[in-house]
Amino acid sequence: MDFFIIANAWSAGKDNPTSKHRIALELVKQGHRVLWIEGAGMRTPSVGSSSDRLRMVRKVAASLRGVRREKQLLSCQVDKLSSECPFDHSSTTQQLNNLATDLWVLSPLFIPLPRYEVIRRLNGLICRMNMRFWGWRLGFQSPVLINYVPVLAEAMRGRHTARTVYHCVDRWDAFAMYDSAMMGEMDRRCCRYADLVIASAGELYDRCKTINSNTVLIPHGVDWEHFRHAVAEMQTAGVPASAGLPGPRPPEGGTPTVARPKQSLSKLHSPPTIGFFGLLSEWVDQDLLLRLAKEFPQATLILIGKADVDVSRLKGIQNIQLIGPKPFSDLPNAIAGFTVGIIPFVVNDLTRAVNPIKLREMLSAGCPVVSTALPEVALYATSKASFPVSVQIAVTHDDFVAMVRRVIEHPLSPEERLALSDSMAGETWTAKVQEILKLL
């Protein structure tokens, strides 16, 4: 099949790919063709912002290039293919070449004034014209449109594609940086214009279903093979290499069988490490982070990721390390050093609709998780009941501290970490994309 995907900048996922990037790459890997269209911004840029000015210059330069074949694949896809073909390098190279052949990127020149209805309509027309022209040039047959950008709802109108899909992955009207009323209306229009709506979280599903009856819930997936490499860290704890290191992929729906020696990781994680990775933004509870640093002076609180808000109050705290962003390829090794992973989000309208991919990534790495009371995380606290300390939900800061202390004092054994990783084997991006394809 042929796909148009309207999303954010392709380069934004180079080191840390989003769910959109992973779905695009998985579609291509499964034999489909994708034209990735870099959508319009969801806020008006500030002329006084140097980063906004640089972004506009890059956008103009990219638009002048027309469609470009994407030869620089994201690190997650390279890692995945390399792990599947560790010895047959010619096979790996051929797969990479095939992916590059079937993935194109287009950067239309949109007018960055989303607050105006007439501009949104004009941008929608620009997007439709580009899809028609470049779809014809690339030989697309009955393409499917998947839209992730609400301000380009008008691009979904008309019958220029065989099917139109709105993939709703966020509560757009709850972001402080966007015009709430405008984003809410654009979200509703996307639902109305779509033949099919896919929601990534239960709260989003409930809202979209009231607008479009053809709405389905498909939670995010995980690069399970990639994050399972974290169990290799057990080698440093004296566990034989044959016990739990990544081996042949299990059959569909199955899990690998490994020997699991009973040995504590307390020595490996001494002193203990409390870890978080992801964007340090408005939804991260900095008060909770400071409380954890105070309650566990013997532990190191490692925060991996870019900050787009003021985090000066976290700097200078002796046992808080602001690492900054790390490439996706390095995350399994980082998580292997976590005694406990945390999801310290403020609970509000925005985060109640979040389906955090980092939850599955930490679990795939065999890392127990303590989270605030996010509905999508709470599902794992109940469904994974066979692992009593794998996912814990805290309603208050006091609860959060107590649960982190519990994991630190009773860390998972290598046996439990491997079993926890195995429990996520069926939640891959491959499985999620197959669900989407069945619907189409």
Whether 272 and 391 share a structural domain = yes
Position 242 pLDDT exceeds 80: no
On whether residue 437 sits in a domain, the answer given is no
Position 157 pLDDT exceeds 70: yes
Whether 26 and 107 share a structural domain = yes
Q: Which of 218, 243, 272 is the last residue of a domain?
A: 218
Whether 234 and 196 share a structural domain = no
On whether residue 31 sits in a domain, the answer given is yes
Q: Which of 218, 241, 259 is the last residue of a domain?
A: 218
Range of the domain at 111: 2-218
Token match 């490692």: residue? 302
On whether residue 434 sits in a domain, the answer given is no
Q: Which tens digits make up the pLDDT trace of 298-342?
A: 999 999 999 999 999 999 899 999 999 999 999 999 999 999 999
pLDDT tier at 137, thresholds 50, 70, 90:
very high
Predicted local distance difference test score (pLDDT) of residue 325: 92
Q: Which of 166, 192, 218 is the last residue of a domain?
A: 218
Predicted local distance difference test score (pLDDT) of residue 99: 61
On whether residue 365 sits in a domain, the answer given is yes
Q: What is the mean pLDDT of the chain?
A: 85
Higher-confidence residue of 99 and 227: namely 227
| Omega of the bond leading into 256 within 30 degrees of 0 (cis) | no
How far apart are the C-alpha atoms of 241 and 112, rounded to whole Å?
Answer: 54
Position 84 pLDDT exceeds 70: no
Whether 114 and 234 share a structural domain = no
Whether 204 and 262 share a structural domain = no
Whether 125 and 255 share a structural domain = no
Whether 165 and 263 share a structural domain = no
On whether residue 435 sits in a domain, the answer given is no
**Tally of domains in the chain:** 2
Q: Which of 44-53, 295-304, 377-386 has the highest mean pLDDT?
A: 295-304
Question: Residue 276 belongs to a domain with what CATH number?
Answer: 3.40.50.2000
On whether residue 436 sits in a domain, the answer given is no
On whether residue 399 sits in a domain, the answer given is yes
Position 354 pLDDT exceeds 80: yes
Predicted local distance difference test score (pLDDT) of residue 16: 79
The 3-state DSSP class for residue 6 equals: strand
Whether 134 and 228 share a structural domain = no
Q: Render the burial of 16-45: b for 16+ CB within 10 Å, e for the rest.
A: bbbbbbbbbbbbbbeebbbbbbbbbbbbee
Whether 88 and 205 share a structural domain = yes
Bridge partners (DSSP) listed for residue 393:
371
CB atoms < 10 A from the CB of 221, how many? 22
Question: Residue 197 belongs to a domain with what CATH number?
Answer: 3.40.50
Higher-confidence residue of 88 and 272: namely 272
Calculate mean pLDDT across residues 258-284: 70
Calculate mean pLDDT across residues 172-189: 94
Predicted local distance difference test score (pLDDT) of residue 249: 33
How far apart are the C-alpha atoms of 352 and 376, rounded to whole Å?
Answer: 8
**Residues in Cβ contact with 61 at an 8 Å cutoff, skipping those fewer than 6 apart:** none
On whether residue 432 sits in a domain, the answer given is no
Q: Judging by DSSP bridges, how do beta strands 391-394 and 320-324 pair with one another? A: unpaired
Position 113 pLDDT exceeds 50: yes
- Spatial contact of 38 and 107, defined as CB atoms under 8 Å apart: yes
Calculate mean pLDDT across residues 220-248: 62
DSSP one-letter code for 428: B
Whether 186 and 285 share a structural domain = no
Whether 316 and 367 share a structural domain = yes
